[in-house]
Amino acid sequence: MTAIPLNHALILSAMLFTVGLVGLLVRRNIFFMLMSIEIMLNAAGLAFIVAGTRWGQPDGQVMFLFILALAAAEVSIGLALILRLYQQFKTMDVDAAHELQG
């Protein structure tokens, strides 16, 4: 088995990050926005693993575990807020919530 070159892995994580970012900017459904954020977080996690591999350290993978834990916490709060959003506004569209303005 040949090792995967560092650059390739890094480019993959950059691409995943971009996919997530574009999804976040384009989608207006709060559900898909949260999923896009998940993709961005995991892309960052992948980049950490790549960095850890370069130095032969486990630190990158440890960081990935922390990121997983964070993503879970963030999504659980996010889903609770989505439920409340739906109760109040009867929609999943974030643009419906625009009462705050100057």
Partner 1 sequence: MTLQDLRPLLPLLVLSAAIVTVMLVIAFKRDHRLTFALTLIGLVLSLAALPLASSGLPRTVTPLVVIDGFALFYIALVLAASLVVVIFSFSYLEKVAGNREEYYLLMMLATLGAVVLVVSNHFVSFFIGLETLSISLYTLIAYTRFERQRIEAAIKYLVLAAAASSFLLFGMALAYLVYGTMQFDQMSSPSNFSAADSALLTVGLAMLMVGIGFKLALVPFHMWAPDVYQGAPAPVTAFVATVSKGGIIALMLRLFAFVPLTLGSNLWNVFALIAILSMLAGNVLAVVQSNVKRILAYSSIAHFGYLLVAFLASNALSISSMTFYLVVYIITSLIAFGVITVLSHPQKEFEELEDYRGLFRQQRRPAIFLGLALLSLASLPPTGGLVGKIFLAAAGVESSLWLLLAALVIGSVIGVFYYLRVAITIFRQPEEESAVWTAPRLTPLAEVTLVLLSLGLIILGIFPAPLINLIEAVAARLG
Is the separation of the CB atoms in 14 and 42 below 8 Å?
no
Tokens standing for residue 81: 């807020």
* Ranges within 39-98 binding partner 1 (CB under 8 A): 40-41, 43-45, 47-48, 50-52, 54-55, 57, 59-60, 62-63, 66-67, 70, 73-74, 77-78, 81-82, 84-85, 88-89, 94, 97-98
| 3: contact with partner 1 by CB under 8 A | no
Cβ 2 to partner 1 shortest distance, Å: 21
Task: Give the residue from 93, 19, 6 showing the smallest Cα distance to 51.
Answer: 6
Phi/psi zone of residue 101: left (φ > 0), alpha (ψ -120 to 50 degrees), beta?
beta
Contact residues for partner 1, defined by CB under 8 A = 10, 13, 17, 20-21, 24, 30, 33-34, 37, 40-41, 43-45, 47-48, 50-52, 54-55, 57, 59-60, 62-63, 66-67, 70, 73-74, 77-78, 81-82, 84-85, 88-89, 94, 97-102
